[in-house]
């Protein structure tokens, strides 16, 4: 029996499309919005996303449109799946069509440049106050391709309102997509966003030919950096040891499907950021989030040495080898500081 009659996913990239396949299990209709009319037509005609998830069948109940009004009409759940840098623009355009008293779930893993707002905060900044209690987030170790293929995946749904998280959990929960709930909205988002920067660092180490020791060190000390900034913003430390923290960090730092790790590998091999991005169809969120991480560290006076070195490599042209030397040569200290 369907849990919801109609749900909407805003953003036809790989993860938004993958979540449509998940939602189709419990929903009678899933509306998918995309900017590209040719892609929208291809999804409706062939029941697959040829640009972002080629050759993966999509459920027959998924219907794509380039009209926000059509996508959001009579929706019982809205999933905001655009890249983080596009979230504000799309939500401002969508606000007049958003149904009232319906959960709005942000799934992009990024921190807005300049404002340093998480995605839930961007939604609050764009939407009238009556929408705010209905905002939540989804995060966790979930490559889009595996999610779309309905391989076992486990994520966290967070909302400050427990009833909302439980309501959304029922819509997403399937025999291959397990969902947990949390009230730690900030911790879930900062863990999911900052791990992308650490994944670039892990990729750089791989590209330089370093071994498993280096990767394990980056993951562990990267988690320390994420925890340091997240707890400063009120996050529960246990959240960072969970799915949206350690779980997503391990996946993104080690998985071959990780776009952020792939960027790092190419940087470690000596390619420039411009060359790498020119050859990518999809967004590596860690590239932009590295700017936000550097600015947050400066604003809050928190040390994020790995994130700082990633920023310097991406935007200041620092040699990856020199960055490693600087990290390894830092003043010895206690692990728990």
Q: For the residues 257-277, what does the mean pLDDT come to?
A: 96
Q: For the residues 154-167, what does the mean pLDDT come to?
A: 96
CB of 307 closer than 8 Å to CB of 290:
yes
Report the pLDDT value the prediction gives residue 2, as an integer from 0 to 100.
74
pLDDT tier for residue 318 given thresholds of 50, 70 and 90: very high
How many residues are listed for the chain in this entry?
Answer: 337
Residue of 109, 195, 288, 291 marked catalytic: 195
Q: Which fold has domain 4-183?
A: Rossmann fold (3.40.50)
Is the pLDDT at 1 greater than 90, yes or no? no
Report the pLDDT value the prediction gives residue 283, as an integer from 0 to 100.
85
Q: Do domains 4-183 and 193-328 have the same CATH topology?
A: no
Give me the percent of the chain exceeding a pLDDT of 70. 100
For residue range 215-244, list pLDDT tens digits in order: 999 999 999 999 999 999 999 999 999 999
What are the angstrom distances between the C-alpha of 227 and each of 13, 103, 232?
29, 28, 8
CB of 122 closer than 8 Å to CB of 115:
yes
For residue range 89-105, list pLDDT tens digits in order: 999 999 999 999 999 99
Contacts of 156 (CB under 8 A, 6+ apart): 138, 139, 140, 179, 180, 181, 182, 188, 242, 243, 244
Is the pLDDT at 4 greater than 80, yes or no? no
pTM: 0.96
pLDDT tier for residue 282 given thresholds of 50, 70 and 90: confident
Domain 193-328 classified CATH 1.10.1040.10? Answer: yes
What distance in Å separates the CA atoms of residue 317 and residue 306, rounded to the nearest whole number? 15
What distance in Å separates the CA atoms of residue 49 and residue 36, rounded to the nearest whole number? 12
Q: Is the dihedral of CA 76, 243, 301, 329 positive or negative?
A: negative
Give me the percent of the chain exceeding a pLDDT of 90. 95
> Would residue 38 show up in a list of annotated catalytic residues for this protein?
no
The domain ranges of the chain are 4-183, 193-328
Is the pLDDT at 337 greater than 80, yes or no? no
């Amino acid at each position: 029996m369907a849990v919801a009659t109609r749900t909407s996913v805003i953003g036809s990239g790989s993860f938004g499309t993958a979540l449509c396949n998940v939602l189709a299990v419990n929903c009678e209709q899933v509306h998918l919005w995309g900017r590209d009319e040719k892609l929208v037509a291809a999804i409706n005609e062939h029941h697959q996303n040829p640009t972002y998830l080629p050759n993966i069948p999509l459920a027959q109940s998924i219907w794509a449109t380039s009209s926000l009004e059509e996508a959001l009409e009579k929706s019982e759940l809205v999933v905001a799946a655009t890249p983080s840098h596009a979230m504000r623009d799309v939500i401002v355009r969508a606000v007049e069509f958003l149904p009232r008293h319906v959960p709005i779930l942000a799934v992009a893993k990024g921190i807005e440049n300049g404002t340093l707002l998480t995605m839930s905060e961007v939604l609050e900044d764009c939407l009238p106050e009556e929408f705010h209690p209905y905002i939540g987030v989804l995060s966790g170790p979930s490559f889009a391709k595996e999610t779309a293929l309905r391989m076992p995946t486990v994520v966290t749904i967070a909302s400050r309102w427990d009833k909302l998280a439980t309501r959304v959990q029922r819509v997403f929960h399937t025999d291959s997509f397990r969902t947990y709930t949390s009230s730690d909205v900030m911790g879930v988002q900062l863990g999911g966003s900052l791990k992308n920067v650490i994944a670039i660092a892990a990729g750089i180490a791989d590209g330089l030919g370093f071994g498993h020791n280096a990767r394990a060190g980056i993951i562990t000390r990267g988690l320390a950096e994420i925890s340091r900034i997240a707890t400063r913003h009120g996050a529960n430390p246990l959240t960072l040891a969970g799915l949206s923290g350690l779980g997503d960090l391990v996946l993104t730092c080690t998985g071959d499907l990780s776009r952020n790790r792939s960027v790092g590998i190419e940087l470690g091999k000596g390619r420039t950021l411009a060359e790498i991005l020119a050859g990518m169809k999809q967004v590596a969120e860690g590239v932009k989030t590295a700017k936000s991480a550097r600015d947050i560290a400066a604003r809050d006076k928190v040390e994020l040495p790995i994130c700082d070195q990633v920023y310097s490599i991406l935007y200041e042209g620092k040699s990856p080898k020199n960055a490693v030397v600087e990290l390894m040569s830092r003043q010895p200290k206690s692990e728990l500081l």
